[in-house]
A and B are shown apart, each in its own frame.
Chain A
Amino acid sequence: MSENNNEMIERYRGNFLREVEDNVEEGEWVKMCMQCGVCSGSCPLGPHWDFGPQTLFMMIRAGKRDEVLAAEGPWMCTSCYNCIVRCPRELPITHIMHGLAHYAVRMGLAPKNQPTRKFSDLFWKNLKADGRVNELRLGISLYFMHGFVDGIKTALKKAPLGLGMVRTKRMNPMEFFGGHKVRDRKGFHRMLEKAEEIESARIEKGPRPGAE
């Protein structure tokens, strides 16, 4: 991945804006930001970010590649779409945030211990296995996200809740050992492989078609 990163640095020679335009989903919109700040002001999680969308767009224009790709901001987006609705320039801000997060992972620069990033990884792994989200296993893996001891502590704390759910038939403990699956698991995996193949072929080819 860092090899990939070096290649990109080499290719764009500090023109990070162009790099974003070419490689980030909806990245060609970044230059149209007029810095009014309505997005950052509208974001319900705004106070908890390191950089809001307005600042991130300015940082992209200023060529602050490492800071942008290592930023926590894009990971904090909950897709509430407040910013998209309010942006006077009609930028697809939510999509750009997810695009930036995705690109940061691709470049190997995304923050390692960012909780939402970790959650995304766990969610994806969970889903990929059987084609359905196994909520019990996803929940338990979240308990153990920060290590074994932490996991046991959380599990004990949450035990009454879990037992209550079992009692009221809201949760089946047997799900832990299997649970629901898609009918054609192999086909599902083949589908994902194909998608990944297409995506990496596209990246291999360089800038996304349609991007300037």
Chain B
Amino acid sequence: MAKERKIGAYICRGCGIGQALDADRLEEVAAREGRANLVRQHDFLCAPEGVETIRADLASGEVSDVVVCACSGRAMTSTFRFDGVAVARANLREGVVWSRARKGESSALADAGSSDSSERGEIPAKTGETTGEAEVSSSERETMQEMADDHIRMACTEIRFMTPPSPSLEQTLNRTILVVGGGISGMTAALESARAGYSVTIVEKSATLGGFAARLWKRIPDRSPCEAPVDPGIATLVSEVSVHERITVETSSKISRTSGSPGKFKVTIERCDPASGDDGSTGSRTETFGAIIQATGFTPFDPSHIPELGYAASGDVVTSSELEALALAAKGEALVRPSDAKPIKSVLFVQCAGQRSSKPGHLSYCSGYCCAASIKQAMYFQDADPSIETVVLYSDMRTPGSGGEDFYRSGQSRGIVFTKGETSAISAAGEGGGARVRYRDLILDEEVERDFDLVVLATGMVANAGVDSEANDTKTDEPDTNASAPAAIEIPVESILNLTYRQGPDLPHLAHGFADSHFICFPYETRRTGIYAAGPVRRPMDIAQAREDATGSAMKAIQAIENAGRGRAAHPRSGDLSFPKVRYDGCTQCKRCTVECPFGAIDEDEKRYPLFNESRCRRCGTCMGACPVRVISFENYSIDTVGQQIKSVEIPDETENKPRILVLACENDAWPALDMAARLRRSWSVFARVIPIRCLGSVNTIWVTDALNAGYDGVMLMGCKSGENYQCHFVKGSEMAQYRMTKIDDTLEQLGLEKERVITHEVAITDIERAPRLINEMERTIARIGPSPLKF
């Protein structure tokens, strides 16, 4: 606050605010308590004339910072954005006027909200200005006015601790993309990026491009009519990639080091000749890339350690990927039995082999592609000779994708027999070769034992996601499935990216060894900004899905590059220029920020201070919430911008029976839910004071203790769902908050307060009815336990 600041507060009377509230009193609050240098009222602030008033004041130098006292900060964002000017919003419309329960609501108010006119900025009809108002009692009017007064105080306080964020000038624009993995996902991502004008380097571990799909004879069709297996199309893709002028291919190579951040990833690519020994390094070079796409695919599950699958017992039991190899070698000729080269008359496909089971050594998940793959392989036999008996033994037929069901039908009409059953044992059949299968027919409810010439195990996908950097922390609450299944899960132990990040060398895993990719809300986002996972490395999928995935990740990589070049945050605060600033002289090197950052954006410098990497940062503020000495802040979001707002609220005397409930609502889900609830005229407690926050993870416990010390009767935290099926936009933010809040009980005890006074809720954006209800419940809780003893 070095330069002189002139705060201008603009109070809008549109959308029913003027009818419901005393604008003159608001003006007085803004001027006296909010210490605004200039206060103006306007009937319709978002109209061109209203905005022009603000612009004129800014241009004349009368005002340097703007407080808009009108609608929610989520509405009219572009209208009230002024370049280089800090803007605070007092939420009078959704936060106060629209969220009040009133009997005999005035028709003018109802109209203003139910039609879209308010959003479009039309002046609502004023005809009913006085009707209905009489039915609002003066005390109700007063509590509502108090609520509005507090919103003005909060916004005027916030602005004084804010500065407009500006680019740090640390940015680099680097329009090159590194694609790790030269399979179908990697090649698709490379081609899509190159077609968009970005230079691409593909690093492939093996000697040729193509990946798993290159070892297929045919693939599952994904275009209508989806009746027969089609050519994998790898040759075409490889040639397209090879001739593209903006694509460089590095085969027999791997990545030995990755440092930096989006826009300036420094990557060491090591060429290795497998012929020349163990490591076989034959030189390396370092290049700079703007973004990275990790398309490292999967390894087929190895069933040899599951005795009941009989994989080791009989040569005529093969996995589906081995059958592909046989089919590829046969080139359409009739397949023969692997053990004795005799013709095959009967084949059994065992679905979910070593999958979808909680037994030790099995994969617990469905790999999604195996049902259609088995149908495809059964067609190999049926098409060669319709008299071959092909049986698919399934427990649930799952053929995702638009053509999946057609393909299943096509298989049935060709005479493939589908039997619902569960395999119990597979063994060698004896003298004549083949395999003996025992299974339970689940429809006929009986045990069956039969010999087949060939048994194909439809095994699943194990992700090549590298090292799980979080394997040893915070997962203790999970049942220990991994420990009992060591051989199955631990196939890729070598790091893929070799990141020099403090938080580990690879993308963190979510579950079952797949890379965490925010699979519920934003599938391509990972927890390492600028590095995007595509294909089966992030979840099991088939070729059609992998190609779509690769295209999406190319788009995200391009966004990351362009954002990084402008110093702007990537998803979800796209375009945000604010960036954590640290007061290093206060830092105690506790390292909580470096550990808790969901995106691994913070490393350590040589003096062991946190080292922030701007373009890796997603601006969630989790570091700020974590910091026990509160030295981390953003220009427009800090301990003070929220903390001082909390303190600016007027706390009535306990005899007045007007409790105060602080609601810290996540701006991504809980706050929009409340806004929408207000638009639907759902009401919540008039005693609540809602402050939007970037993420629950940014909540520093000082806010909670300050609020309680100031005499608030209760504190509510509303954030997104955490845990394995998280919906937090910043992945770990709400989880961190939950964890921190488990420790708040001690603080409450020290203060001599009841535990019920602080509560954390998981609120989804769809909880439009629930979110206001939760606030009302809190009001009842406070009524039950009585006012806070800390009021004075």
Main secondary structure of the interface of B (DSSP, over half): mixed
* B1: interface (CB < 8 Å): no
* B555: interface (CB < 8 Å): no
Q: Which residues of B contact A55 (CB under 8 A)?
A: 443-444
**Interface residue tally for chain B (C-beta within 8 Å):** 14
Q: Which residues of A contact B413 (CB under 8 A)?
A: 31-32
Nearest Cβ in chain B — how far from A11, in angstroms?
14
Q: Which residues of B contact A203 (CB under 8 A)?
A: none
Q: State which of B159-167, B416-424, B587-595 sits at the interface with chain A.
A: B416-424
* B402: interface (CB < 8 Å): no
Contact B419 A34 (CB under 8 A): no
Contact B441 A35 (CB under 8 A): no
- CB within 8 Å of B: which of A121-136? none
* B39: interface (CB < 8 Å): no
Select one of A34, A59, A61, A64 contacting B417, CB under 8 A: A61
Q: Which residues of A contact B444 (CB under 8 A)?
A: 55, 58-59, 62, 64
Contact A35 B412 (CB under 8 A): no
Q: Which residues of A contact B448 (CB under 8 A)?
A: 62
- In the assembled complex, the Cα of A85 lies from the Cα of B367 at a distance in Å of 34
Q: Which residues of A contact B420 (CB under 8 A)?
A: 35, 58
Select one of B408, B409, B419 contacting A61, CB under 8 A: B419
* B415: interface (CB < 8 Å): yes
What does the 1/0 interface line of A51-69 toward B look like (CB < 8 Å)? 0001100110110100000
* B397: interface (CB < 8 Å): yes
Contact A32 B419 (CB under 8 A): no
Nearest Cβ in chain B — how far from A55, in angstroms?
6
What residue in chain A is nearest B397 (Cβ atoms)? A34
What does the 1/0 interface line of A21-64 toward B look like (CB < 8 Å)? 00000000001101100000000000000000011001101101
Contact A34 B418 (CB under 8 A): yes
- In the assembled complex, the Cα of A55 lies from the Cα of B444 at a distance in Å of 7
Contact A31 B415 (CB under 8 A): yes
Nearest Cβ in chain A — how far from B200, in angstroms?
43
- In the assembled complex, the Cα of A32 lies from the Cα of B444 at a distance in Å of 18
Known: A58-B441, A58-B443. Contact between A32 and B415, CB under 8 A?
no
Contact B412 A31 (CB under 8 A): yes
- In the assembled complex, the Cα of A212 lies from the Cα of B448 at a distance in Å of 28
Contact A35 B417 (CB under 8 A): no
Q: Which residues of A contact B418 (CB under 8 A)?
A: 34-35, 61
Known: A17-B417, A58-B420, A62-B419. Contact between A34 and B441, CB under 8 A?
no
- In the assembled complex, the Cα of A92 lies from the Cα of B578 at a distance in Å of 66
- In the assembled complex, the Cα of A70 lies from the Cα of B441 at a distance in Å of 21
- CB within 8 Å of A: which of B407-459? 408-409, 412-413, 415, 417-420, 441, 443-444, 448
- CB within 8 Å of B: which of A60-104? 61-62, 64, 89
Contact A34 B412 (CB under 8 A): yes
- In the assembled complex, the Cα of A55 lies from the Cα of B445 at a distance in Å of 10
- In the assembled complex, the Cα of A59 lies from the Cα of B417 at a distance in Å of 12
Q: Which residues of A contact B443 (CB under 8 A)?
A: 35, 54-55, 58
What residue in chain B is nearest A30 (Cβ atoms)? B412
Select one of A32, A54, A58, A212 contacting B412, CB under 8 A: A32
- In the assembled complex, the Cα of A54 lies from the Cα of B419 at a distance in Å of 12
Q: Which residues of A contact B409 (CB under 8 A)?
A: 32, 89
Nearest Cβ in chain A — how far from B301, in angstroms?
26
Nearest Cβ in chain A — how far from B365, in angstroms?
23
Q: Which residues of B contact A35 (CB under 8 A)?
A: 418, 420, 443
Known: A31-B413, A34-B397, A35-B443. Contact between A58 and B419, CB under 8 A?
yes
- CB within 8 Å of A: which of B603-661? none
Contact B417 A31 (CB under 8 A): yes
Nearest Cβ in chain A — how far from B682, in angstroms?
40
A-B pairs with beta carbons under 8 Å apart, 18 shown: A17-B417, A31-B412, A31-B415, A32-B409, A32-B413, A34-B397, A34-B408, A35-B418, A54-B443, A58-B420, A58-B443, A58-B444, A59-B444, A61-B417, A61-B419, A62-B448, A89-B409, A212-B415
A-binding residues in B (CB < 8 A): 397, 408-409, 412-413, 415, 417-420, 441, 443-444, 448
A-B interface, 6 closest residue pairs, ranked by CB to CB distance from nearest: A58-B443, A32-B412, A61-B417, A31-B412, A35-B420, A58-B444
